Every structure is written in structure tokens, then in C-alpha cells.
Amino acid sequence: MRTTPSVLGAAIVLLISRAVMAADQPGAGGRPQSLKYAWAKAYHIPPETTTEESGYFALCEGKNGKIYVGSAAYGRNSYLVEFDPATEKMRVVLDTHKLVGLPLEPTGYASQAKIHTRNFVGPSGVIYVGSKQGYPSPKEKEAGKIPTYRGGYVMTYDPATDEAKNLGMPMPLGDKRLPADAKEGEGVIDVVADEARGLIYVITCESEHWMLFDTKHPEKGYRALGPTLRDQPNTLIDREGRAAAITHDYRVARYQPDIDKVTVDELVVDGKPFREVIGPDAVHPDWRLAADGRTAYLQLLNDLRMFQIDLGVEAGKPVTGRSLGPRINGKHPDSRGSISIATDGTVYSAIRIDNETGFGTGYLHHLVRYDPRGNHMDDLGVFAVKNPDFFNFKLPPAKNPDGSLRPIHGYHTLPDGTLTPLHVILAMIVARDGTVYATTLYPFTLLRIPPS
């Protein structure tokens, strides 16, 4: 007997309804089947390298297969920490104050309190980072005596030789390019190297100056390229050797080193200026370049969407792109320093949304993956810790030498006993073997998810 279209349609609707109902049915421990876990092994980053059990974007895989994490010790110092996946051991490989010749005892707000840059690994294997200021302490504010921060440093670490180098301060206090009433120097929020041309691109903060350092002529110092950039952006270098960064008004600034020229071009996504697509409240653009040297993938801290941008167009013409849709559906997104492209071309991201599953409270941090070949987004699950005893949460908070307490409230437990990050995923990368590494805070933790 032939099935009529109406009967067939009704059957399809019934199957879809049953599938949706099944996805909402409780699984193990009452957990909805639609809530998956991305199981990670957690490692506590050495507490002596932080004061607040925190860090920022600074995470990378070295050419040697080891993982490098930047830390923040407010009022004191900052460090680059090496994690060896083979031995699961950590060690400090760069002590900022020791390297640049600053006091090793606490100096308050004057200290180089953060390595906040997205650690950049050059073709040589050298790792490029930068330092920046932290925050005045309550005691400094109360006393009305906040030490002067003189500016951040650009630094490198070479795992092959175990040697760190200081490349100086891009915009210290007293620099003529600072406003006349400037009270402090600029920190460093991004460092990228074009080693083939001997060029290093630096973005400062808090004013986001785009700067260039020629390693062949270090005596010339750091040169300002002109455009003011968006909050805590990063520079990409395309296959033509052009550097690109997002401007304060969400256009694309590009520098062509062969002709020493900067252009600022409109960024058009789905036929509209990008600033109109994302609205006035979007912040912190973050992008990475695919292996083809022209396709960039971009996300924002407080927007659900992922965007694909074509940087291959001629300078002076609009840069075009398209929205790939939401990485996941949810409310109050938070996604920072987490976009990463795997060796197979798939794009990974971490994004936090409200927990509206009815299974526990707090936030849920999802690991998502976009496949350009199939043009689809996959939710790989919520970050979950498989070794919850990596840190003793039952003990009271430890104290820093100055008596301040070290926060330990950065995780929460779901009804089935699963430990999961609460506040933010600070940074995330995909290693060459497909392992996902991410950092989270309170306590400062490196999460390691095996290849899926």
C-alpha cells in the first residue's frame, strides 16, 4: 500500500517528537541525556606563581609538545609555566621581574602582575609574551598611595635553549606618544612575530596602540602604526605577510610591510558593517587564522556567534565575512581566549551559558567544534573534571604572604556529583595531537581533554 504524504509527514513529526522527548529524559544520576560531559584531567598550576589563583589568555603548545601557561601574581610578579604532558610536571621557565631587572619583593601596583598575552609560537619555536599591570590593592586605594606602573615588557622564551630574553618596553611612562597627563605606561596585551621578516607586532593596553618592532634595527625601538584597536584584540599575519587587527570601531587595520603602508578597511559581514551586526555592546574580539593563510575565525566575549572572515582581499577594499550561527544556544554567553584551530581544520571554542537544564544551578561551560567541511557546529559537552581530588576544596582558603586569602570558589558540583568550572574558561587551545587544553580559575587550573 502506498503511503500518502500526509501520513508520512505525521510519522516524521511523531519520530521527531519522540527523539526530543528522549533527549530530555534523565540519564545517569538524573542528568538529562542532552547534557553531555567533556571529561578533563585537572592540574593545579603552581600556587607560588599566582596570588588570586588566576591567569588570562596566555596558553600555547610549544614546538616541543609542552604546554606553556602565563600566570598573574598581583602586586608581585608574573611567570611563564611549562607543563610536560609526558611527566605531568610543571616548572617556571620565565620569571618576569628577574628577567627585566625589577625587584623580586612585592612592589604593589608597580609590578608586572600579568602575562595576559595570547602566547605566540614562532616557526623557530620561540615563544613571545608580554607583561602588563594588575590592579591596585584595597590597602593602596585606602592609603591613597598607588605605586606608579611604568609600562609592560615584550619577552621571549626559547624552549630549545631554555633561555628567556627581554625585548624592552613598547610605551613606557614618559614616552612622548602618551597623552601629556598620562599617569602610567602602557602594558602589553598581544605580541605576534613575523620571524621571516624580522618584525614583531605589539598591542598595548589600556589604550590599544598597534606597534611594530624591527629586530634588524632594534635601535629604532617600537614604532606606532597608527590605528587605535579594539579592547584586547590580537594581530594575525596572513599568507601575503600582511598584519591585520580589529580597530576600535570594528573595522580591519592592515599593515603591508613590503610597501610600509597601513590601510583601514570596512569589515562587512553578511552584507552589513560588522559593528551593526554585533551591536554596540559587543566586546573583546578574538580571532585565529586557518592554515590557508586567509580564512580567519572570530568570536566575541559576549556573543553566541562564530564568524568566518576572508582576509585574502586586496588592501583598500572591504574585508568580507559571514556568520556561522550560534556556537550553542543559551543566555548570557561568555567566551574569552578560547578559539583554536586544529590540524584537521576544525575550529574549537569554549563558551559559557546559563544552566537552564533544570539539573543544578550556576553556569555551564561547553566545548564546541565547527567543521568547515560539513558546515556544522557540534556541542562536545560541558567541561567536567574526572579527578576532583586534584585540589582539596574542603580546606579553608590558603593565605598569601601579605595575609590575603587565595580564592577557591571557581568550581561547582552538579547533582550527579560532577565537578565543573563555575566562572570562566580563561584560554583554550587544541594541541597538534588533538588534545584540548584549557585554563580556569579559583584555583588556577590546567584542564586536559584527550582527543575525541
For 228-265, the pLDDT digits (tens) are 999 999 999 999 999 999 999 999 999 999 999 999 99
Superfamily of domain 36-449: YVTN repeat-like/Quinoprotein amine dehydrogenase (2.130.10.10)
pLDDT (tens digit per residue) in 349-365:
999 999 999 999 999 99
Give the pTM: 0.93
Strands (E), 85-228: 89-95, 114-115, 120-121, 127-132, 154-158, 163-166, 187-194, 199-205, 209-214, 222-228
For residue 451, cis peptide bond before it (omega within 30 degrees of 0): no
Length of the chain as a residue count: 452
* Every domain of the chain and the residues it spans: 36-449
Rg (CA), the chain: 23
Give residue 134's pLDDT: 96
pLDDT (tens digit per residue) in 362-379:
999 999 999 999 999 999
Position 12 pLDDT exceeds 50: no
For strand 127-132 and strand 114-115, is the pairing parallel, antiparallel, or unpaired?
A: antiparallel
Q: Is 125 helix (H, G, I), strand (E, B) or coil?
A: coil
- Report which secondary-structure segment, H or E, holds 380: strand 376-385
Give Cα 92 to chain centroid, integer Å.
Answer: 20
Comparing 15-24, 303-312, 368-377, the range with the smallest average pLDDT is: 15-24
Buried b (16+ CB within 10 A) or exposed e, 23-40: eeeeeeeebeeebbbbbb
